[in-house]
Amino acid sequence: MARTVFLRGKEEIEAIRAAAMLVARTLGRLGSEVRPGVTTATLDQLAEAFIRDHGGRPAFKGYRGFPASICASINDEVVHGIPGPRRLAEGDIVGIDVGVEMDGFYGDSAITFPVGRVSDEATRLLQVTREALARGVAQAKAGNRVGDISHAVQSYVEGQGFAVVRSLVGHGIGRQMHEEPQVPNYGTPERGPRLMAGQVVAIEPMVNAGVPEVMTQPDGWTVVTKDGRLSAHFEHTVAVGQEGPDILSRVDAP
Ligand code: MG
Ligand code: MG
């Protein structure tokens, strides 16, 4: 298989930004609906309508047979949860992952939301995972290597007493949802593929409160923690710049 890393020109970056900003707006819309009693199927229907109303296509729907427009992963579910009749309950955390294709370009972003009041551990897990993403993103500049992103995420998370998931990784993104290179959440500084200006990557720490090991449920999709403890996931689509990162999946982007 060809291992091609694509460098995008200005117009292509703006096309990816348009898709990624629709992802960000969708997440914002869903965030205002997250509350006890809401089903994840309702969130999925809202997301699909919102994405289509704004000229996009939900990229996850039908991807390798995935049946929905969002992934909704509750508590010990790490990623790839299938929306359904389960109602969110006070104290849950729910990771919502959204992908959009628009005009042939892809955006991908995720946020884990607290449902009502959550435990101190859940609050800290969300803070640490969000900060791990910020630290990974900060390394997305030309001349660095993928290992600089990976190490920034891993060293921060482990320093806070949590664990990074190793069997699932971030990825290049652009004309396809998943492109080269892989962007692991663990690694060694100054190792791995060189980052170049114009590269676009999805950086997505998945952080477990307990052990790093995960397993897939019999539905073939839902990834859960092996010890049943909480997991959180945050993700941004980011263009690697000469001077630093350009977060494309942000509503306040230019
Ligand atoms: Mg995603
Ligand atoms: Mg992704």
Q: Please tell me the least confidently modeled range out of 76-80, 145-149, 150-154, 250-254.
A: 250-254
Q: What is the pLDDT of residues 2-16, one digit of tens each?
A: 568 899 999 999 999
- How far is ligand 2, taken at its centre, from the CA of residue 39, in Å? 23
118 CA distance to ligand 2 middle (Å) = 26
pLDDT, residue 252, reads 73
- In this predicted structure, what is the pLDDT of residue 47? 98
How many whole angstroms from its chain centre is CA 36? 23
The residue among 243, 232, 241, 188 whose CA lies nearest residue 206 is 232
pLDDT of residue 5: 87
Q: What is the pLDDT of residue 3?
A: 67
Contact 159/131 with Cβ under 8 angstroms? no
Nearest bound ligand to CA 203? 2
Which of 3.30.9.10, 3.90.230.10, 3.10.150.10, 3.40.1410.10 is the CATH number of 10-247? 3.90.230.10
Indicate if the pLDDT at residue 20 is higher than 70. yes
- Among all bound ligands, the one having the nearest atom to the CA of 71 is 1
Distance 170 CA to ligand 2 centre (A): 6
Average pLDDT over residues 219-246: 97
Mean pLDDT of the chain: 96
What is residue 208's three-state secondary structure?
strand
pLDDT for res 1: 44
CA of 149 to the centre of ligand 2 (A): 15
Q: Are 208 and 162 in contact (CB under 8 A)?
A: yes
Q: Ligand 2 center to residue 211 CA distance, Å? A: 22
The rounded Å distance from CA 109 to ligand 2 centre is 7
Q: Sort strands 231-233 and 206-208 into parallel, antiparallel or unpaired.
A: antiparallel
Give me ligand 1 centre to Cα 152, in Å.
Answer: 20
Q: What percent of the chain has a predicted confidence (pLDDT) above 70? A: 98
Q: Does position 254 have pLDDT exceeding 60, yes or no? A: no
Q: How many Å lie between the centroid of ligand 1 and the Cα of residue 233? A: 9
CA 203–ligand 2 middle distance (angstroms)? 7
- Omega before 181 within 30 of 0, i.e. cis: yes
Query: CB-based contacts of 6: which residues, under 8 Å, 6+ apart?
Result: 172, 174, 175, 179, 199, 200
Ligand sitting nearest the alpha carbon of 60: 1
pLDDT digits (tens, 9 = 90+) for 99-142: 999 999 999 999 999 999 999 999 999 999 999 999 999 999 99
| pTM of the shown model | 0.97
